[in-house]
Amino acid sequence: MVATAPAGLEASSLVKRFGGTAAVDGIDVSVRPGEFFTVLGPSGCGKTTFLRLVAGILTPDSGRIAIGGADVSQAPIWARRIGLVFQNYALFPHMTVAQNVAFGLAMRRVPRAERGPRVERALATVRLEGYGRRKPSELSGGQQQRVALARAIVVEPDLLLLDEPLSNLDARLREDMRSELADLQHRLGITTVLVTHDIHEAFSLSDRVAVMRAGRVEQVGAPTEIYDRPANRFVAGFLGPVNEWTGQVQRVQGGVAEIMLDGLRTCRVAALPGSAAGDAATVVLRPERLALAPALATPAPTMSAAGALAGRIDQVAHLGNLVNYRIALDGRMLLAQALPERSGALAVGTPVRLSWDDADLAAVAP
C-alpha cells in the first residue's frame, strides 16, 4: 500500500515543557527508513509527548523534526503524512468501521470515488474484509485495534506512529496482535515508531529501541545490545532484574577493564568509555547467566579454588518453563534463573556452587 519509498525520522534537541517541567527534555533520535523503532520507558517519562511532537499535535518549545529529510517542525498535522494510532485507539462510536477508516481520506480531500476501494484494501490488510458496515461496538477489542490500524495506514503515511497500541488487549490477544503487527510492518515496509512501557513488546517487534527516562533518551540500540550491554544502572534494571557488584577499576587496556569486585575477585569486562584505573565501578550480571549447581560439601560461603562461589538456596519460584532462585551468599542475595531440573527444582536450603563467564558481565555507569 505504500507507494513512496519509506521515510526516515530525525528529531534533534527536542524540548517540550508543561509549566515548569520538561516532559521532553532534549531528545535526539534518528529513525532509519523502513525501521521499526520503539521508545520504551516507564509511565510519565514523556513517550506520548514525544509522539505528539512528531505527529504535530504539539509544537516543540525548541528543537527540530525532519521526516524524509524535510523539516516539518512548524508544519501542521495534516501536512505531515503520518498515520497515528492513539493510546486508547479512539474510534468514532457513531460511525461504521468503513466511515472510521475513510475519515483520514476525507480530511485529506481524497476524491470520494477513490475512498471506497482504499478503505476496502486497508481493511483487507488488517484481515477485516466485510466488516465495513459494523459499528465499533459490534467488534472485539482486537478487531477494534485492527480498525484503528487500518485508519492509520489507509492514508499511505510516510511514518506510522503507535502509542501503546496493544495495551488495552488481554494477554493472549496482545500476543496475537503483536505478531500481526510485526507481519504488517514487514509487508508494508513502513517506517514505524512505537511507544510502550512493555519490554517484551519492544523487544519482539523492534529493530532498535530507545530507552527513555524523565524526558531523556538513556540508550539506543538493538534489543540484544541494550539488554546485554546496558549503558547505565537504570537501563540495566528497567530491562529486567540484575545481580550487581561494586568494585574498582585496576587497569584499562585495549577496551577491556580489569575490575576488582568488592569481596570477590577480579574480572575482565568491556570498559566503559573514559574509565580509568582507580575509578569506582559497577558490574551487572543477568540471573539467567548465573550458573548454579548443587554442591556436595558445604564449605564456608566463600570462593572455592575454581572461582565458584558457595551459596545456599533461599527462595524458589516456579514459572513453569523456568525457575527463579534467590540465593544467599555472604550475607547478600543473588538471583539466578534456570531451566527446571528433571528431578524438580532445587529445594530451599540446598547448598549450591555459583559461577559465571566474565563475558556475560557488563560494566555500567551509575
Ligand X SMILES: Nc1ncnc2c1ncn2[C@@H]1O[C@H](COP(=O)(O)OP(=O)(O)OP(=O)(O)O)[C@@H](O)[C@H]1O
Q: Does 92 bind ligand X (CB under 6 A)?
A: no
Among residues 8, 9, 34, 47, the one that binds ligand X under rule CB under 6 A: 47
Nearer to ligand X, 41 or 136 (CB): 41
- Which of 43, 137, 321, 343 contacts ligand X by CB under 6 A? 43
Task: Please report, as ranges, the residues that interact with Mg ion according to CB under 5 A.
Answer: 48
| Under rule CB under 6 A, residue 78 binds ligand X | no
178 binds, among Mg ion, ligand X, none (CB under 5 to 8 A by kind): none
The piece of 28-36, 40-48, 90-98, 234-242 that touches ligand X (CB under 6 A) is: 40-48
Q: Which does 44 bind (CB under 5 to 8 A by kind): Mg ion, ligand X, none?
A: ligand X
76 touches ligand X by CB under 6 A: no
Find which of Mg ion, ligand X, none residue 119 binds, CB within 5 to 8 Å per kind: none
| Nearest CB to ligand X, comparing residues 200 and 265 | 200
Question: Cα 69 to chain center, whole Å?
Answer: 26
Check binding of 38 to ligand X (CB under 6 A). no
Told to check if 8 binds ligand X by CB under 6 A, we report no
Which of Mg ion, ligand X, none is residue 16 near (CB under 5 to 8 Å by kind)? none
The residue with cell 521515510 is 7
Q: Does 311 bind ligand X (CB under 6 A)?
A: no
118 or 197, CB closer to ligand X? Answer: 197
**197 touches ligand X by CB under 6 A:** yes
Under the binding rule (CB under 6 A), the answer on residue 165 touching ligand X is no
Q: Could you tell me the smallest distance in angstroms from the CB atom of residue 48 to ligand X?
A: 3
d(CA 344, CA 354): 19
From the CB of 108, what's the least distance to Mg ion, in Å?
A: 26
- Site size for ligand X (CB under 6 A): 11
Residues that bind ligand X (CB under 6 A): 18, 23, 41, 43-49, 197
